[in-house]
Amino acid sequence: MKEKMHGKEKEYWILGFGLLTLAFILYFIIIPWQIKPQPGELISSDIFPKFATIILAILGIGFLYDANKLRRVSRTDPVEYSTMDEKNAEKMDWASFFMSTGVLLVYTLSLYLLGFIISTMLFLVLTMWRFGVGPVWKCSIIAATMVLIFGMLFQSFMLIRLPQGLLVRMLMRLF
């Protein structure tokens, strides 16, 4: 029967393979492709990136070694293994993770398309309503106040032009 890996051991395998893969891609693909040492250069420009990549690879091997050590202990001394293997306290909640990164990404994209005022207003109203701040009208008042504060802070105070939005600009050109 296939043995199930526990928290720390699994983490070390992931980290070991992850770092080794990253180091391999960097050393053999990205660095030769993106850094072209020039003829006549005494100290090549790729020496330092390669140095950092080698360190990553060594650390990757180190993590694999630790993972393997944990595996060996798990077979020979289960009691000792239970003290060495700390499980992650919290399980990853992917749904809330995708929701939180999703709203940030959607807000950034809408900032590009709809501009600062519309997208920020929508983002704040929707998130605050979802988080239970109160009814939509209450969230709208808070959101409008925040949009006003941010607008004044960046546009009037710091003289920075906030994104107008691609769609808004196109509509303005049309009408």
Partner 1 sequence: MLLENLASAIESFFLLEHIIGLLVGLIIGIVIGAIPGLGPTVVIALVMPLLIKFDKILALIIMIGIYVGGIYGGSLSAIWINTPGTPAGAVTALEGYKLRQKGFPVKALQCALWASVFGHYFASIILYLACEPLARLSLKFNSPEQFALILCALTVISVLSAKEKKKGLAAAAIGFIISLTGTDPITGYLRMCFGSYHMRDGIELFALLIGIFAVSETIKQLQLLFKQDIKDVKIDYRRDPKDRLSLRYFFGKWKVLIRSSLIGTGIGALPGIGPVTASFVSYGFAKKNSKEQEKYGNGSEEAIIAAEAANNAVCSGALIPMLSLGIPGDATTAVLLGAMVLFGLAPGPMLFISHGPIVRVLFVTIFVCGVLLLLLGPGIIRLSVFIAYVKSTILWPCISVLCILGVYSTNSSMFDVFVMLLFGLLGYAMERYGFYASPLLIAFILAKQMEISLRRALLISNNSIGALFNRPLFSVIIGIAVLMLMAPVILDKIKAANKKKESIG
Binding site for partner 1 (CB under 8 A): 11, 15, 19, 26, 30-31, 34-36, 38, 41-43, 45-49, 52-53, 55-56, 59, 62-63, 66, 92-93, 95-97, 99-101, 103-105, 107-108, 111-112, 116, 120, 123-124, 127-128, 130-133, 142, 146, 150, 153-154, 158-163
Smallest separation (angstroms) from partner 1 to the CB of 105: 7
In the bound state with partner 1, the residue whose beta carbon lies nearer, of 82 and 100, is 100
Smallest separation (angstroms) from partner 1 to the CB of 2: 24
Check residue 105 and report its DSSP letter.
Answer: H
70-89 as b/e: b if 16+ CB within 10 A:
bbebbeeeeeebeeebeeee
In the bound state with partner 1, the residue whose beta carbon lies nearer, of 71 and 122, is 122
In the bound state with partner 1, the residue whose beta carbon lies nearer, of 21 and 34, is 34
In the bound state with partner 1, the residue whose beta carbon lies nearer, of 43 and 174, is 43
Check residue 159 and report its DSSP letter.
Answer: -
In the bound state with partner 1, the residue whose beta carbon lies nearer, of 1 and 90, is 90
Smallest separation (angstroms) from partner 1 to the CB of 101: 6
One-letter amino acid of 151: G
Check residue 89 and report its DSSP letter.
Answer: S
Smallest separation (angstroms) from partner 1 to the CB of 141: 11
Closest CA to 111 of 175, 167, 155: 167
Q: How crowded is residue 12: how many other Cβ atoms within 10 Å of its Cβ?
A: 21
One-letter amino acid of 68: N
> Measured at the alpha carbon of residue 76, what is the angle toward residues 72 and 78, in degrees to the nearest 5?
100
